[in-house]
Amino acid sequence: MLELNAVNSGYGETQVLYGMNVTAQPGRVLAILGRNGAGKSTTLKTIMGLLPTKSGTITFDGAPIAKRPFDIAKSGIAYVPETRDIFPSLSVRENLELASKRFGGGAWTIERVIDLFPRLGERMDNGGMQLSGGEQQMLAIARALLMNPRLLVLDEPTEGLAPIIVKLIHDKLQDLRREGLSMVLVEQNFGFATSLADDVVVVGKGQVVWSGSAAEIRADAETQHKWLGV
């Protein structure tokens, strides 16, 4: 479904990814794990067109991925950034409508995302920055789902959240996984990531140093210790 082949990328003159090779299969969850600064978020930003691909190729459904973020979004990839990036000038309703009115006609509607996250239904007229961290994460995921994506890309969805919210987000993403939504997940929380993922790649110093199934990484204490510090 999504394939990165020998991708080099980074911030300006600073190269972060060195020949990154990653493949996400349809209907499966791929977790990208690694220590801070390993290149996980850079990989997602490169996929989304927020950072330029200096060399290498990225294909989505067999075709080269678009260059500009808005074309990539239209091709069916929705992004939940690490910082959530809720628009503070917009209410919760407007944040949701921004996606639903542009990508309507699919399975995901505002009513359905409120069924998924009922808390958002109570906060529809609140400003984006009046939400707690957990509510902002729910809104960021709901907004991405309203794009009716074929691939959902999530960057550190548990970052800075209380354990009870982490469990809630985990359960909701598990529901989405069971429905067959393809996902790429970057995550520091090893237990969270490996309980959701089907496939795992471990990234170190801007390249893939290990790949396999979630069950395999759970059983591989040496890789966990060497590359993830678990």
DSSP state of 105: S
CA dist., res. 40 & res. 44, Å (int)? 7
Considering beta carbons, is residue 71 or 115 the nearer one to other proteins? 71
For residue 76, give the 3-state DSSP assignment: coil
Residues 152-211 touching other proteins, rule: CB under 8 A, are none
**Toward other proteins, which CB reaches closer, 160 or 204?**
160
- Residue 87 or 190 having the CB closest to other proteins: 87
* Other Cβ atoms within 10 Å of 205 Cβ, number: 14
What phi and psi, each to the nearest 5 degrees, are found at residue 94?
-65, -40
Pairwise CA distance, residues 62 & 112, whole Å: 31
Residues that bind other proteins (rule: CB under 8 A) add up to a total of 29
Task: State how far Cα 19 lies from the chain centre.
Answer: 21
Q: How far is the CB of 83 from other proteins (least distance, A)?
A: 9
Is residue 101 part of the contact set for other proteins (CB under 8 A)?
A: yes
> What does the DSSP assignment read for 182-208?
EEEEE-S-HHHHHHH-SEEEEEETTEE
CA dihedral of residues 135, 141, 145, 151 (deg, nearest 10): -170
Binding mask 115-134 for other proteins (x = CB under 8 A): ------------xxx-----
Q: Contact region for other proteins (CB under 8 A) — 30-38, 65-73, 162-170, 202-210?
A: 65-73
Q: Does residue 103 belong to the site contacting other proteins (CB under 8 A)?
A: yes
DSSP 65: P
Residue 103 CB, nearest approach to other proteins (Å) = 7
Binders of other proteins among residues 67 to 96 (CB under 8 A) are 68-70, 72-74, 78-79, 81, 85, 87-90, 94
Q: By CB under 8 A, what part of segment 1-60 binds other proteins?
A: 48-50
**Cβ of residue 184: shortest distance to other proteins, in angstroms?**
14
Residue from 99, 185, 186, 193 touching other proteins (CB under 8 A): that is 99
Neighbouring residues of 210: CB distance < 8 A, sequence distance ≥ 6? 200, 201, 202, 217, 220, 223, 227
Q: Name the site residues for other proteins (rule: CB under 8 A).
A: 48-50, 68-70, 72-74, 78-79, 81, 85, 87-90, 94, 97-99, 101-103, 127-129, 143, 147
